[in-house]
Structure 1
Amino acid sequence: MVGDEQELTGGNASGRVVRVGHTVRKPWLENSAAVQSYLGALRAAGVDVPQPLGRDDDGRNVVEYVEGALAMDHLPLGHDELRRVGRMIRQIHDASETVPIPNPGDWKMLLPAENPDLMCHNDLAPWNLIMDARWVFIDWDGAGPSTRLWDLAYAAQSFGLLVEGQPVDDAAARLRSVVDGYEAGDALRVALPAAMADRTAAMFNLLKSSNETGFQPWAEMYVNGHGEHWRAAAEYVARNQTAWERALA
């Protein structure tokens, strides 16, 4: 046990998370060693991610604590900010090309991508982006084999605020800013609308099936508002495919 532990809130699937000084400590998972190695490779490539710091005496995963406010507290982000987010994601993906991925069949992915070929964060969303003197994506515990398309589809939908209740034209403009910042090519732009629909539907289906089987923490999240949010988001994204295609053309 380390003294002066401050329990952190906000994580849904990480177990008990505490801050100790300038570090974050959370349970060591089966993939933690590989994720720490991945973070080290990204930092070596010039990407600003939390510094991996190994295990503490209690066997916990230790990474750098990054000061600042979460992007989710400042939504909707402006278009310049969204383009910056897109550039950050592109930098992460490009740097990840140098990282060998493990056999995807040996890696437990909650929402597996088709034909994974790239190590990815898999939760590049406003609740995982610190915006301060540094802009840094945090909470890399779900990192693993995926694809640019699957990872970007989730990020573009969440940062673009493609959710029920948002004016479609405004959401489409935000979507375009993220994808423009990423400098996506034609093939990626064409594939994104359908991928966003598949990704949001997959998130809802995970929560729904978890509620039916008692798979935690997703079962509890389903009944605490996440299920309804993702059900509505999946319908919204699927219903407005033409608007997304037009915005990205």
Structure 2
Amino acid sequence: MAEELELAGGNAADFVLRVGQTIRKPWAASTESVQQFLTALRLAGVEVPRPLGRDEQGRQVIEFVDGTLAMDSGQLNSTELRKVGEMIRIIHDNSPKPTPADLAQWKVLIPAPKPDLICHNDLAPWNLILGERMVFIDWDGSGPSSRLWDLAYAAQSFSGLWAGTNPEEARTQLRAFVDGYRADEQQRRALPETMVHRVQAMYELLKRANCAGEQPWAAMFDQGHGAHWKATAEYVAEHLEIWREALIED
């Protein structure tokens, strides 16, 4: 077997290893469902990492995708944002609806108010590879959610709606991303407030985990993630009217 190289990232996994052109992670309760989800997307022609089952040590095996994380490449420009929005639309359009068994058994970290679609649940710059291929990685948190809930998280993070960002620049980036997704009028009107709720939910997760000592989220809260998401939630809420104007203007 090729040399095992430990990789950074994967906050919720005990380890992430690169072995040749594959990634090895622990096999979790949801891994089989995640691999079935990825297989279904690939059969529909969606560009996602190839699931490769288990290795002889019982670890999950998935294709390694070479490239640079979008989060390490600076803020994406409008053309790139439209491309990412288009990618996410393709993923959503080819994702299955959850069955009653999915809703009962497949738990997600931050549940959507009305889950009606199997989603990645962490479509963000830290999970997008840029290179010869543009591919979303780290599907371990997949599960029942909703198109709007998943889109809100992606729109906020990819469009650079972070505390300290010039809101006029952010609105231009947000419009490009949502245009790429081809969001309809109903989605555009619902998206600004949904972004607020989704970012607040991220902060509340970290806060609850910190109080309960639930890892790795408790440690992440203490390491600055709590303050970061609290400030982000306040920023997104403060400029809510700007996001509305950006998405519904002619």
Cα distance in 2, alignment partners of residues 162 and 98 from structure 1 = 29
Corresponding residue of 1:130: 129
Shift of 1:62: 0.5
Cα distance in 1, alignment partners of residues 21 and 41 from structure 2 = 20
Corresponding residue of 2:110: 111
SS of corresponding position for 2:52:
strand
Corresponding residue of 1:173: 172
Superposed CA offset, 1:145-168 (max 9, x none): 000000000000000110100000
SS of corresponding position for 1:242:
helix
Q: How many residues align?
A: 248
Corresponding residue of 2:33: 34
Identify the range of structure 1 (168-177 vs 106-115) with the bigger mean alpha-carbon deviation.
106-115
Shift of 1:100: 5.4
Corresponding residue of 1:202: 201
Shift of 1:99: 7.3
Cα distance in 2, alignment partners of residues 49 and 21 from structure 1 = 18
Residues 121, 102 of structure 1: CA spacing in aligned structure 2 closer, same or farther, 3 A cutoff?
farther
Residues 132, 56 of structure 1: CA spacing in aligned structure 2 closer, same or farther, 3 A cutoff?
same
Tell whether the 8 Å contact from 2:175 to 2:246 is kept in structure 1 after alignment: yes
Cα distance in 2, alignment partners of residues 32 and 247 from structure 1 = 39
Superposed CA offset, 1:89-124 (max 9, x none): 000000104775743132221100012110100000
Identify the range of structure 1 (8-17 vs 148-157) with the bigger mean alpha-carbon deviation.
8-17
SS of corresponding position for 1:38:
helix
Code of the aligned partner of 2:95: S
Q: Share of identical aligned residues, percent?
A: 56
Superposed CA offset, 1:31-63 (max 9, x none): 000000000000000111000000001110100
Cα distance in 1, alignment partners of residues 142 and 100 from structure 2 = 11
Please say if 1:9 is aligned against 2:8.
Answer: yes
**Hey, which bits of structure 1, 4+ residues long, moved more than 2 A?**
97-103
Superposed CA offset, 1:53-84 (max 9, x none): 00001110100000000000112100000000
Please say if 1:213 is aligned against 2:212.
Answer: yes
Cα distance in 2, alignment partners of residues 125 and 104 from structure 1 = 24
Corresponding residue of 2:145: 146
RMSD between aligned alpha carbons?
1.2
Tell whether the 8 Å contact from 1:161 to 1:171 is kept in structure 2 after alignment: yes
Please say if 1:22 is aligned against 2:12.
Answer: no
Cα distance in 2, alignment partners of residues 3 and 53 from structure 1 = 16
Gaps of 5+ in 2: none
Code of the aligned partner of 2:12: A
SS of corresponding position for 1:188:
helix
Tell whether the 8 Å contact from 1:102 to 1:145 is kept in structure 2 after alignment: no
Gaps of 5+ in 1: none
Corresponding residue of 2:154: 155
Cα distance in 1, alignment partners of residues 207 and 97 from structure 2 = 36
Tell whether the 8 Å contact from 2:117 to 2:147 is kept in structure 1 after alignment: yes
Shift of 1:200: 0.3
TM-score, length of structure 1 as denominator length: 0.97
Corresponding residue of 2:47: 48
Cα distance in 2, alignment partners of residues 101 and 148 from structure 1 = 18
Cα distance in 2, alignment partners of residues 177 and 148 from structure 1 = 18
